[in-house]
Homo-oligomer: A and B are copies of this chain.
Amino acid sequence: MFKDSSVTCKNCSCRWPNFDNLTDTQLDLLNGSRFQAKFKPGEIIFKQGSPTSNAIFLTSGFAKLYMEGYDGKNIILAIAKPGRLISGPGTYVDNRHHYSLASLVETTACFVDTSVIKKLVMENNLFAEGYLKDISRKSLDTFHKLLSFSQKKMHGRLAEGLIHLSDDIFESQRFHCYLTRQELGEMTGMTKESVVRLLKEFHDENIIKIEDHIIEIIDKPKLQKIMISG
């Protein structure tokens, strides 16, 4: 663990937006109780089943948030990036993580003791409301994913996944996709073989362009059409 003293929770450019609701004193409390850590690509930041001792916020990098399923098969629930609270609903249920978090690239993260977050919830209503908003939004995302998984076919789910990565995660038409084919499959509910085949299909139809791990969306309208109809 290390701590860069020049950056604090007060001036952090990638802090969780809900921290805007805190007073200076509260931000100081937060800053005083946080620890930073650095992770190499592929390292596990926390593990499903372990205690939710800390709330986690990435300060750089990307990580996958995944559930470990029934016979070694995982499902990726979301890709985490800086500015997002990662602590999981277990915090307010059974103090256990219900999914694991692993870095996709070199990643730095702040750890804040859960009790500090809970204390802030109890003494700052705006912060509590912000927390509710945050968890509500994530809830909607999960509902959407559930609908997508249960009603769309592979084409639609992959198209949706690619657009999500482009719009929300990497924020570019052309991005280095840190996910393996296996992981893309875990994100969109299909096998790695199917991912390969479909990516090739999209490529052949000039919808996307793939060079190794760089994905470029060429024909977004077409991809959106597939996302909606498929």
Contact = CB atoms under 8 A, between A and B. Distances in A.
Contact of A129 (B121, B135, B152, B228): B121
A131 B228 CA distance: 34
A143 B73 contact: no
B142 A143 contact: yes
Interface stretch (A4-12, A37-45, A91-99, A172-180): A91-99
A138 interface: yes
Contact of A146 (B118, B140, B149, B152): B149
A175 B90 CA distance: 31
Given A146-B77, A147-B69, A132 B136 contact: no
Interface residues of A, number: 41
A82 interface: no
A33 interface: no
B147 A89 contact: no
A93 B140 contact: yes
B131 A98 contact: no
A138 B140 CA distance: 11
Contacts of A138: 139
A145 interface: yes
A135 B146 contact: no
A75 interface: yes
A133 interface: yes
B146 A75 contact: yes
A17 to B, nearest CB: 14
Contact of A147 (B75, B118, B128, B150): B75
Given A99-B143, A121-B128, 5 more contacts: A69-B150, A77-B143, A89-B135, A90-B140, A98-B140
20 contacts: A67-B143, A69-B150, A75-B147, A75-B151, A77-B143, A89-B143, A92-B132, A92-B133, A92-B137, A93-B133, A99-B143, A121-B125, A122-B126, A125-B125, A128-B132, A138-B139, A139-B139, A146-B149, A149-B150, A150-B189
